[in-house]
């Protein structure tokens, strides 16, 4: 019995053999990766919920609004933004992985297989970069700033002491 991974030149893809061992290693590949990605996604969701709860409780305990509170709020917002980014990137990887293992096997045509396996892989890399830009780029730099306000300066002669 053969137990290996090979590149199918007819379908243009890396695949497992159609043997009992091939099905086992294909299932192990799918379930191991999916378990890791789902666990990371659930941990990120849990962390995001705890950060939201902590942010709400800190706001209600100390509503003074001094500089340290503002810095704390900014740090919490940055942490939450980072976690949202991680959730989006992980969800993208989960979709890509499901597309490869669940949608791709439904097709026989090499172009359909390409659009169900290779294309989502490359698209997920491109969208990953877009997610990073979306969460970290300061769009305020693109907004045209209003013209500076006019200031009137009144000059008075200095008083001399005699």
Using the predicted structure, report yes or no on whether residue 60 has a pLDDT greater than 70: no
Inside any domain, residue 148: no
Residue 64 structural domain: 6-141
Residue 6 pLDDT: 85
Q: In the structure, what pLDDT confidence band is assigned to residue 145 with cuts at 50, 70 and 90?
A: low
Q: What is the DSSP string of 25-48?
A: HHHHHHHHHHHHHHHHHHHHHHHH
**C-alpha closest to that of 93 among 32, 26, 41:** 41
Closest CA to 14 of 124, 104, 128: 104
Percent pLDDT > 90 in the chain is 26
pLDDT level of residue 162 (50, 70, 90 thresholds): low
User: Is 19 a member of any domain?
Assistant: yes
Identify whether 111 is part of a domain.
Answer: yes
Instruction: Write out pLDDT tens, residues 62-87.
Output: 555 555 777 777 888 888 888 889 99
Q: How many domains does the chain have?
A: 1
What tens digit of pLDDT does each residue of 15-29 get? 888 889 888 998 998
Residue 147 lies in a domain: no
Residue 154 lies in a domain: no
Assessment of whether the complete model's pTM goes beyond 0.75:
no
Contact 54, 79 (CB under 8 A): no
């Amino acid at each position: 019995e053969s137990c290996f991974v090979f590149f199918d030149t007819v379908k243009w893809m890396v695949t497992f053999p159609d043997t009992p061992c091939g099905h086992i290693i294909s299932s192990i590949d799918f379930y191991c990766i999916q378990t890791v990605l789902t666990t990371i996604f659930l941990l990120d969701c849990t962390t995001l919920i705890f950060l939201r709860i902590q942010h709400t409780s800190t706001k209600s305990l100390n509503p003074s609004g001094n500089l340290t509170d503002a810095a704390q709020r900014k740090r919490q917002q940055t942490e939450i933004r980072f976690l949202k980014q991680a959730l989006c990137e992980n969800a993208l990887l989960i979709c890509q992985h499901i597309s490869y293992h669940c949608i791709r096997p439904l097709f026989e045509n090499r172009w359909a297989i390409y659009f169900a396996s290779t294309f989502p892989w490359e698209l997920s890399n491109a969208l990953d970069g877009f997610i990073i830009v979306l969460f970290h780029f300061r769009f305020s730099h693109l907004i045209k700033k209003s013209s500076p306000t006019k200031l009137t300066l009144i000059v008075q002669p200095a008083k001399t002491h005699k």
